[in-house]
Structure 1
Amino acid sequence: MMLRIKPMYLKPLLLALSSGLLLAACSKPAPEQAATEQSSEDVKESHIWPKLTLPVPQDLAMEQSITALLAEMTLQQKIAQMIQPEIRDISVEDMRKYGFGSYLNGGGAFPNDDKYATPADWIALADALYQASIDDSLDGSRIPTMWGTDAVHGHNNVIGATIFPHNIGLGAANNPALIEQIAKVTAREVMVTGIDWVFAPTVAVVRDDRWGRTYEGYSEQPKIVHDYAAAIVTGLQGAAGENFLGDEQVISTVKHFVGDGGTTGGVDQGNTEVTEQQLFDIHAQGYVGGLQAGAQSVMASFNSWNGSKVHGNKHLLTDVLKDRMGFDGFIVGDWNGHGQIPGCTNDNCPQAANAGLDIYMVPTQAWKPLYYNLIAQVEAGDISMARIDDAVRRILRVKKRAGLFDKASPAKRPLAGKTELIGSAEHRAVARDAVRQSLVLLKNTNQLLPLNPGQRLLVTGPGADNIGQQAGGWTISWQGTGNNNADFPGGSSIYAGIKRQVEAAGGSVELSSDGSYQQKPDAAIVVFGEEPYAEGNGDIDNLEYQRGNKTDLALLKQLKADGIPVVSLFISGRPMWVNPELNASDAFVAIWLPGSEGEGVADVILTNADGSPQYDFHGKLSFSWPASPQQTVVNVGDANYQPLLPYGFGLRYGESNVLNADLPEQIEQTTQLSDLVIFERAPRSPWQLQLQSGTENAAVVSSIQQLGAISSRTFDKDVQEDARRFELDGSSNAALAFISTFPRDLRAYTETDSQLTLLVKRLGDIPANVTLSMACGNNCGGKVNISKALTSMPEDAWQPLAVSLSCLQQQGMNLRQVSKVLAIETSGALTLSLADARISPVTNNTELSAVACQ
């Protein structure tokens, strides 16, 4: 049977398909077809992409040895090379049995699940898994495995490692030679722990600073990203022909291919809506630089390009990257990114291989069914053996180039176990220099900076003595949270660095958490800014700092009222609207996320004993600074480019201020807030529909699905399959819920009267307790009983239902971190259909009568 779709419904359906949550009801496309589907707006223009001359030519003898090895390998051994599980989900025996081609540790994963695992523990695990991989007693294979890790600003998962400034600060330094030096240090510290492969550099060109990964981008300017990609790849791997991938080098990964920094609204893992020419000109320059430096792996991106998930986009992965640009290394997926392709799940996705993915990154226990499914799909002809052989050839080629077939086991390599290199004085000196070069001076009234260390100084603010906050996300833990100063042995907080230099100069320094002091200081240094976050947890909906809770501004004003000159040191992963904080500061420095070597800040803001600067400011803005909270997309070269401070801005000592002392602090809403659609024909990204029964939950991936006490099926209300019917049988507590992988910032809806509005239809009796809720984490949220409202509705008729957000907030709902935007739950029997769900400002529609707040 052929599925017919009216033209007027084609684009909404394609958008729904791109979210990975709506499946075709009548037939499933063949893997090759699904992998190559593009939206009707895409025009494939491979000629836009350059044919690159890559620095590592193929070696005929190596290729012949790979051909011979492929001829000996079983299908099972080949598929194992394409599977990358995570250390929390496999054992040494699993490695011996399956012979995985690679494995990884995700953010916050450690040997023995121990955050305080020593370098010796890391080496021991690396050696055990390596030895198991070359043990052919069970799988018949002696191909060495390789370990990949997110060493994105130093070897940041390991206690005691040197933590460098995040990329946004390094971009402000605009010094490729420094970047290469940082990469060399990172490679050495990684090699000490026996790891072969680093998931860096990130070469995103960020267009919307609301994105939670903005700090992982070097710049909004593609040229800096291009040059830095080449520098960091060279530093990690070595230059081609010059000890390339030798004993002190690791395999690098340019990521995330492609367009991750360009998603609409700055939504993580969202949709990048640009032409192919723009995709190349803006978002691909890091790949040009990285590949021309010899990068051996590329990571596919979570994002979609014009509605097509990149993990399943054959045009980009194969036609462009491999065929046109000539990349002959391997493409690795991101964390279960293949499972987001329409028609795929984490454990079943031939489409990704057919599109050109070579290694499936498959954390969780999904690796095992994926392994067996891929074998079955090759045997059934859904994936060709030629595609498998190409993927495995690429993996083996990189392993041979990296010498993994010839090197000793991880514990016996030249740098293994040389723990004195981790966080060594030499390495920390590089990081401290990077801090100095990254700082950007935005304001310096009456040349307050640099401060004489012989004075009486107050250091205050939540970030003053907090290495975890200054290091940011991707530091020990995934989000960078839960760390204290003791977790950074050898590091220095900003306060500690200032204290050491002030006391050495004969001055005095007082640390205060709240701005109080024993003696009135000559100047106050206030360290404040964003709390750590990573990926989508950092997504926000506008750039106002401390929106709705301006405690740091109150601290600045308190000090100013006392007549104390104020120096603000602003920690952030992106430019933010801080006009009130700028007005309340005499000097203001963007210090970004400087990492473990906080004393680098003191080197710049304090003078020598004779009053001369130790170091002048070097950094220049690599991201434009916004003039309003809503100016989230402001990039040099824009047609109407009017930032508060432009790209490339940064004062030196002695230069005059350009900022007025009375910057506007009133926030003007320039556009009317629109509805936030949660469900309209299908779940709207980023919301995913989930069924919950008892303690079990499952994402809805089919038109008909059941989980324990709850079932769901699509049906036609106005058009094909535009509504869902949920039947809860009462055998256990059950719920339908719309969740997001990452919490979403919906505070804009608190600034106007807004309601959560649904269009529902009920059948049969209604239990006495049916709750509608929103959640912002464990034990955080609000709920109301909608039983009476449902009972009062006529049966089998569509009716609106509304709940005021203010009601949910009164019960503890925090719209800054919305993880579950809507849930309907009961322990009784209930049949309820849903056709629409959204958050609506009441000014946008006729206000509905809301359910009474309990």
Structure 2
Amino acid sequence: MRMSLDQKIGQMTQPERLHVTPAEVKEYHVGSVLSGGGSCPADNHPADWVAMNDAYWAASMEADAGHLAIPILYGVDAVHGNANVRGATVFPHNIGLGAAGDPDLLERVGRVTAREVLAAGVDWTFAPTLAVVRDPRWGRTYESYSQDAGVVAGYAERIVRGLQGEGILACAKHWVGDGGTEAGVDQGDTVIDEEELRRVHVAPYSAAVEAGVLTVMASLSSWKGEKCHAHRYLIQDLLKGEMGFTGFVLSDWNGVDPLAGDYGEAAAMAVNAGIDMLMVPERWREVIGELKQQVKRGVVPIGRIDDAVARILRVKFACGLFERPQPAARQASNGVAFGSREHRAVAREAVRKSLVLLKNKGGLLPLDEGARILVAGPAAHDRGRQCGGFTIEWQGVSGNAAIEGGTSIWEGIRAVAPRAVRWADEGEVSDARDFDVGVVIVGEQPYAEGLGDIREPSPVRPGAHLSVAPDTLEPYGNTLEFAALHPEALRTIRELADQGIPVVTVLISGRPLVVNDELAASSAFVAAWLPGSEGGGVADVLFGEHPFAGRLPVAWPSEMPGGNGRGGTGNDGVLFPRGYGLQPR
């Protein structure tokens, strides 16, 4: 049976779960559904996801005279484990995995992530991010493995093998240059020549394509003023042509919207540039209608539609989607492995290997398990803060309630050191001299994407990935100086140090920050990045059960970068170079 135009365009469409029913999946021949950040079924446990996906799958497979049985693809942002779901194993974000410097570990992380994605009845993760970060002001810095393109390329191969080796689809993103925008502005403009674009930002995708990645997501950013979503040279000529990518290209969230004032024209621009599947969370019915008209008018050649659909179907066959039973009947959907001890052991290993020791005056670390330890700081007992963005909610969560399983850093310390005490009040520490050492755990609040940028507020672009679009997109702050962003941290460190006890500072952050004052006031200083659900891994290293092994994946700044330059990737204003990390014996 030949596919109709309606069926073809339906396969090219990806609405968000809150805006499409199973009945509409069948009626409009929808090819894929996604969950946006924080968009989860009630109760948000694996069984709830399986039941939801069962309904979508059954609708897509209900063949009749007007509908072909083509299984639907369901996609999620499982970017550091399947962290959308309660009880998941949450891994360190990519910057921490980059610090670990262990490609074999990364492949195992990919396999565990894939198993927990499959356990929720899901087939596709929008990962890995292959950005090469060039400025720590970027709110997505923590999604980058390294500022070094060769490191990211090497990791790209291993994470793709890990994810797709367990039967889900990986999605290399965001094509291309998203980590190189001027001043680190999310969805901004990457103003570099083609030689640098290829050498720095294209290189990781070449490795991913060689490893067999089956989907690629376009970037919401621009290259020299031209939107990547409408860039035929980058998508059609370079990625699909020169690089030989045979999978399909997906747009990002509402990536069609800013291309043109007329929605039909915008959709045509994206498809003609080489976008095969359109992520249109709410306006999916409209884009189907508009794209049909663009084909009938000859603006979008039917050959381009046929190529897009062939790519989508080829990927569905390649990942075994047509052979799989409904999600509830799949072996991996029984939830037994979800958040298991074995999976958490891999995450804890990743935490241990990701920690970077920046200072260790007098050999303070490792700590003695029998020491009298005062643990302080707002991040000491906060699993949500440890996990960062893309955890349960798009912007992440705070506190412990939503992160089921795992341990906070305080819980890890308490399990090792019976004489440790946590200072939970915000008042003065009047008796710090009764302790041998203070451990102060501080850091950034969770954030994701542009809301993590360091810059001045700016107007929201059309279709911005926000549940409620304000007049301006508020960034995390306008400085990388941690003392200005979170002055309470330095107060706590100094309060303990002024009473004569040595202080170990553990920094939870998605990027390197300007911490000159905090470093000076601390006897030891640890960059813990965003370690995820297994805070016990931090304690493993603080007490010497495992050594410090992490190395900086990006340069650590001594001052706030200025202007539109790509701060932190050269030698100016660098406190610690990439690759730095003390390793006490």
Pairwise TM-score range, normalised by the shorter structure: over 0.9
Corresponding residue for residue 235 of structure 1: 162
Q: Secondary structure at the match of 2:482?
A: coil
Corresponding residue for residue 288 of structure 2: 371
Q: 1:459 aligns with which of 362, 375, 393?
A: 375
Corresponding residue for residue 394 of structure 2: 478
Q: Secondary structure at the match of 1:144?
A: coil
Matches within 5 A, 1:597-746: 597-606=534-543, 613-630=544-561, 633-636=566-569, 638=570, 640-654=571-585
Are the aligned partners of 2:264 and 2:290 in contact in 1 as well (CA < 8 Å)?
no
Residues in 2 aligned to 1:261 and 1:433: alpha-carbon distance in whole angstroms: 27
Matches within 5 A, 1:235-314: 235-238=162-165, 248-314=166-232
Corresponding residue for residue 353 of structure 1: 271
Question: What is the Cα deviation at residue 95 of structure 1?
Answer: 1.0
Question: What is the Cα deviation at residue 484 of structure 1?
Answer: 2.6
Q: Residue 90 and residue 562 in structure 1: after superposition, are their counterparts in 2 closer, same or farther (change >3 A)?
A: same
Aligned length: 558
Pair 1:510 & 2:422 matched: yes
Residues in 1 aligned to 2:425 and 2:149: alpha-carbon distance in whole angstroms: 40
* Aligned residues: CA RMSD: 1.5
| Higher percent of residues as strand | 1
Corresponding residue for residue 77 of structure 2: 150
Question: What is the Cα deviation at residue 342 of structure 1?
Answer: 3.3
Question: What is the Cα deviation at residue 376 of structure 1?
Answer: 1.3
* Greater Rg over alpha carbons, structure: 1
Residues in 2 aligned to 1:513 and 1:295: alpha-carbon distance in whole angstroms: 49
Residues in 2 aligned to 1:167 and 1:307: alpha-carbon distance in whole angstroms: 28
Residues in 1 aligned to 2:485 and 2:302: alpha-carbon distance in whole angstroms: 58
Q: Secondary structure at the match of 1:525?
A: strand
Question: What is the Cα deviation at residue 414 of structure 1?
Answer: 1.6
Question: What is the Cα deviation at residue 346 of structure 1?
Answer: 8.6
Residues in 2 aligned to 1:356 and 1:174: alpha-carbon distance in whole angstroms: 35
Q: Deviations over 1:507-538 (max 9, x none)?
A: 34334343636662111100001100000000
Name the structure, 1 or 2, with higher relative contact order (CA <8 Å, separation 6+): 2
Pair 1:498 & 2:416 matched: no
Are the aligned partners of 2:187 and 2:222 in contact in 1 as well (CA < 8 Å)?
yes
Corresponding residue for residue 784 of structure 1: none
Pair 1:573 & 2:510 matched: yes
Are the aligned partners of 1:458 and 1:517 in contact in 2 as well (CA < 8 Å)?
no
Residues in 2 aligned to 1:387 and 1:208: alpha-carbon distance in whole angstroms: 37
Q: 2:233 aligns with which of 315, 325, 329?
A: 315
Are the aligned partners of 1:441 and 1:588 in contact in 2 as well (CA < 8 Å)?
yes
Corresponding residue for residue 331 of structure 2: 414
The one-letter code matched in structure 1 to 2:566 is V
Residues in 2 aligned to 1:344 and 1:325: alpha-carbon distance in whole angstroms: 32
Corresponding residue for residue 467 of structure 2: none
Corresponding residue for residue 333 of structure 1: 251
Are the aligned partners of 2:83 and 2:392 in contact in 1 as well (CA < 8 Å)?
yes
Q: Deviations over 1:389-416 (max 9, x none)?
A: 0000000000011111121111111211
Residues in 2 aligned to 1:142 and 1:73: alpha-carbon distance in whole angstroms: 11
Corresponding residue for residue 741 of structure 1: none
Pair 1:175 & 2:102 matched: yes
Question: What is the Cα deviation at residue 548 of structure 1?
Answer: 6.3
Matches within 5 A, 1:792-831: none
Are the aligned partners of 2:410 and 2:422 in contact in 1 as well (CA < 8 Å)?
no
Residues in 1 aligned to 2:485 and 2:192: alpha-carbon distance in whole angstroms: 34
Are the aligned partners of 2:6 and 2:29 in contact in 1 as well (CA < 8 Å)?
no
The one-letter code matched in structure 2 to 1:406 is E
Identity among equivalent positions (%) equals 49
Are the aligned partners of 1:348 and 1:374 in contact in 2 as well (CA < 8 Å)?
no
Residues in 2 aligned to 1:188 and 1:357: alpha-carbon distance in whole angstroms: 29
Residues in 2 aligned to 1:445 and 1:344: alpha-carbon distance in whole angstroms: 62
The one-letter code matched in structure 1 to 2:482 is Y
Corresponding residue for residue 539 of structure 1: 453
Gaps of at least 5 residues in structure 2 are 456-478
Q: Secondary structure at the match of 1:524?
A: strand
Q: Residue 282 and residue 76 in structure 1: after superposition, are their counterparts in 2 closer, same or farther (change >3 A)?
A: same
Pair 1:105 & 2:38 matched: no
Residues in 2 aligned to 1:549 and 1:202: alpha-carbon distance in whole angstroms: 28
Are the aligned partners of 2:561 and 2:567 in contact in 1 as well (CA < 8 Å)?
no
Residues in 1 aligned to 2:486 and 2:175: alpha-carbon distance in whole angstroms: 37
Q: 2:298 aligns with which of 360, 381, 389?
A: 381
Q: Secondary structure at the match of 1:569?
A: strand
Are the aligned partners of 1:346 and 1:362 in contact in 2 as well (CA < 8 Å)?
no
Residues in 1 aligned to 2:382 and 2:500: alpha-carbon distance in whole angstroms: 27
Q: Deviations over 1:407-447 (max 9, x none)?
A: 11111112112x22111000000000000000000000001
Question: What is the Cα deviation at residue 642 of structure 1?
Answer: 5.0
The one-letter code matched in structure 1 to 2:362 is N
Question: What is the Cα deviation at residue 546 of structure 1?
Answer: 3.8
Gaps of at least 5 residues in structure 1 are 1-68, 239-247, 607-612, 655-854
The one-letter code matched in structure 1 to 2:227 is K
Q: Residue 344 and residue 202 in structure 1: after superposition, are their counterparts in 2 closer, same or farther (change >3 A)?
A: farther
Q: Residue 344 and residue 177 in structure 1: after superposition, are their counterparts in 2 closer, same or farther (change >3 A)?
A: farther
Are the aligned partners of 2:383 and 2:408 in contact in 1 as well (CA < 8 Å)?
yes
Question: What is the Cα deviation at residue 347 of structure 1?
Answer: 9.3
Corresponding residue for residue 13 of structure 2: 83
Are the aligned partners of 1:348 and 1:369 in contact in 2 as well (CA < 8 Å)?
no
Residues in 2 aligned to 1:94 and 1:531: alpha-carbon distance in whole angstroms: 39
Corresponding residue for residue 847 of structure 1: none
Corresponding residue for residue 465 of structure 2: none
Corresponding residue for residue 384 of structure 2: 468
Question: What is the Cα deviation at residue 275 of structure 1?
Answer: 0.6
Residues in 1 aligned to 2:486 and 2:330: alpha-carbon distance in whole angstroms: 52
Corresponding residue for residue 218 of structure 1: 145
Q: Secondary structure at the match of 2:351?
A: helix
Residues in 1 aligned to 2:575 and 2:302: alpha-carbon distance in whole angstroms: 56
Residues in 2 aligned to 1:456 and 1:572: alpha-carbon distance in whole angstroms: 27
The one-letter code matched in structure 2 to 1:326 is G
The one-letter code matched in structure 1 to 2:405 is G
Are the aligned partners of 1:336 and 1:346 in contact in 2 as well (CA < 8 Å)?
no
Q: Secondary structure at the match of 1:526?
A: strand
Residues in 1 aligned to 2:189 and 2:485: alpha-carbon distance in whole angstroms: 29
Residues in 2 aligned to 1:370 and 1:421: alpha-carbon distance in whole angstroms: 39
Pair 1:424 & 2:324 matched: no
Q: Secondary structure at the match of 2:240?
A: helix
